[in-house]
Structure 1
Amino acid sequence: MTDRYLSVDQVAELLGTTARFPRRLIEERRIRYVKVGRHVRIPESAVEEFVQSRTVEPLRRPRTGFRRAA
């Protein structure tokens, strides 16, 4: 059990958002979480999975020898 469990405020700080965003993710069940009594904790791996699944890679266009004139 090496996974750290983060509070909503810690996840918000990690993501650079307000606490409202992780709470909405929890409410919509878009992220894994654990209930400890009345407290909600989010595994650090769940945050990493969430970010990884929503990461958009840049398009790789093939280079051509011709460029458009301005």
Structure 2
Amino acid sequence: MSRREALRKPSLLTGLKPGEKVTLAGREGDLVVERPKLERLTPEELERCVQELTKDWPVTDALELLDRR
């Protein structure tokens, strides 16, 4: 596939599946377009990320917030 074809039909590149690569030929040299594979987090890693993001947040009582209505 050439770079010109990729510019005229960008759906060819957006339709790549995770892990697929396409080489685009051009005058200046070849260009490799790759869609990286998605990394799946384990439940422990996900919980660690949530705890790290929320460590500076104040403690909130959800039931108290609901009772205010």
TM-score (norm 2): 0.22
Higher relative contact order (CA 8 A, sep 6+): 1
Larger Rg: 2
TM-score (norm 1): 0.22
